[in-house]
Amino acid sequence: MRRGDAPQRAVTLALRGSSNITGGTGSDAQALTDDSGLAVFRVPAGRQVATYHFEVVLATGAALPGRPTADLVVRPGRPAVVDVRPARLELGGAQEGTFAVQAAVRDSFGNPVPNEPLELRPERADMGVAADTRATDSLGRAAFVIQAAAVRRPGRIELRTRGERLAVLEAAFGGPVSRAGTGFVSGGGQRGVARTLLSEPLVFQAHSVSGRPIPGRVVVFRSRNAQVTRDSAVTDSAGRARVEVTLGSQAGVAVVTASFDSVQTAETLHVDPGPAVELILERDGARVDGGRIIVERDVPFALTLKARDGYGNLIPTVSLSRTLQDVLRQYNARSQLLRFVGVESDSLTAAIKFKPVAAGMTSLTISAGLTATVAVEVVSPRR
């Protein structure tokens, strides 16, 4: 500020209009001229993109000659945030076309950043998504198009600017579930001994109606006469989930059921009995081993032999029949009261037939790896 050629010192000036700066002090900035007549105004730029017009006046509000003015142009800051819509691409529907991705670039104060190069690129090159770069418009927006059919695998798609990743878009295969393409694909029909872990896991696979795998979705497992290591699992990038199975204690079948959305599928497994731990002798349906029976001389009788494992399952006795034949033939050479007649076997029992030949008391022991004993009293026939 000068009067003629002389600088005006210690004059208080005001910057009229600076009170309108968004986020400012709310009052016009003031400054005092120095010895050279210069005044330096310190004003906040605020947080909002805008252009402000100021006039330099005296502190009293009086206008200065020539009405000096100044403009403050507030531009957006460095890109800090990218808002992307949609945040997730669901692929795998019956009708697939293109996906429009809308992105808005903003600075740390939320101001749109115009004319900013924004890059869209897959996190992994094998996803099949082509990288693309677009400049934002005056509102900080950019639009991209992704061909759904080109996406080969799920993953993340990045939105980057100035070398920084500011947003991520998830691409996942979903869509309607194919009933024909969803179910167990490996490990079914296995056979094992009761209470043992199967050698191979059951493998479940989920596909959409378009034939694509469906990753990242929950499969719920239930079991009957078996135990699964986990009651649910998340499908991997190939749409598969694996579960280990321990067979139950009941010989026969075990069933594992998988539920995925509206699809439910079951796999049957086969449970074999464990090793025999006990031999049982029965007569007319009553257990007699460890006890005593009474038979009449010259009247044939039969004892039913059963073998059970540690879980109470009956074990097929077919393999015991030959052993019993040999053992019982030797028995005839030693026994004076009973004669072994023969063995008839079905899948789970063996009927051993004897004929009492003399009255008296004897102990009958059946041995086939394990032993079962019954006391036999032979009496004279009733008259």
Q: What is the pLDDT of residues 319-375, one digit of tens each?
A: 676 677 777 778 888 889 999 998 888 888 999 999 999 999 999 998 878 899 999
CATH code of 91's domain = 2.60.40.1930
CB contact at 8 A, 350 and 344 = yes
Is the domain of 164 the same as that of 115?
yes
Domain assignment of residue 162, yes or no: yes
Checking if the pLDDT of 95 tops 70, the result is no
Q: Is residue 358 part of a domain?
A: yes
Q: What percent of the chain has pLDDT over 70?
A: 97
**Tens digits of residue pLDDT in 44-60:** 888 899 999 999 999 99
Domain's final residue, options 213, 237, 272: 272
Determine, yes or no, domain membership for 178.
no
- Quick check: is 116 in a domain? yes
In a domain, 49, yes or no: yes
Is 286 a member of any domain?
A: yes
369 and 298 part of one domain: yes
CA neighbor of 244 nearest in space, from 260, 261, 256, 259: 256
68 and 98 co-located in one domain: no
User: What is the separation of C-alpha 8 from the centre of its chain, rounded to a whole number of angstroms?
Assistant: 78
Asked if pLDDT for residue 9 goes beyond 80, the answer is yes
- How confident is the model at residue 319, as a pLDDT? 66
Q: Are residues 64 and 116 in the same domain?
A: no
Regarding whether 95 and 62 lie in a shared domain, the answer is: no
Distance CA 350, CA 329 (A): 16
CATH of the domain at 337: 2.60.40
Render the burial of 311-334: b for 16+ CB within 10 Å, e for the rest. eebbbbbeebbeebeeebeebeee
- Per-residue pLDDT at 94 exceeds 70: no
> Can you give the C-alpha Rg of the chain in angstroms?
46
Q: How far is CA 315 from the centre of its chain?
A: 39
pLDDT at 359: 94
How far is Cα 369 from Cα 247, in angstroms, rounded to an integer?
26
Using pLDDT thresholds of 50, 70 and 90, give the confidence band for residue 317.
confident
Show the domain range for 111.
81-173
> What band does 212 get if pLDDT is binned at 50, 70 and 90?
confident
Residue with tokens 């010259």: 298
Confidence of residue 244 (pLDDT cuts 50, 70, 90): very high
Element at 12 (helix H, strand E): strand 12-16
Quick one: pLDDT at residue 198? 98
Q: What dihedral angle (degrees, nearest 10) is formed by the CA atoms of 145, 150, 156, 160?
A: -40
Phi-psi region at 336: left, alpha or beta (left = phi > 0; alpha = psi -120 to 50): alpha
Q: What is the pLDDT of residue 180?
A: 93
pTM above the 0.85 mark?
A: no
Residue 74 has which token pair? 């507030």
Q: Which of 126, 152, 173 finishes a domain?
A: 173
Asked which of 248, 272, 296 is the last residue of a domain, the reply is 272
pLDDT, mean of residues 137-161 = 90
**pLDDT > 90 fraction of the chain, expressed in percent and rounded:** 70
The mean pLDDT value of the chain amounts to: 91
> What local confidence, expressed as pLDDT, does residue 311 receive?
96
Q: What is the pLDDT of residue 303?
A: 95
Q: Which of 16, 17, 10, 24 is closest to 63 using CA atoms?
A: 16
Is residue 148 helix, strand or coil? helix
Residue 103 has pLDDT above 90, yes or no: yes
268 and 191 together in one domain = yes
Yes or no: say if 220 and 244 are a contact pair by the CB < 8 Å rule: no
Q: Report the half-sphere exposure of 74 (CA within 13 A, side-chain side).
A: 21
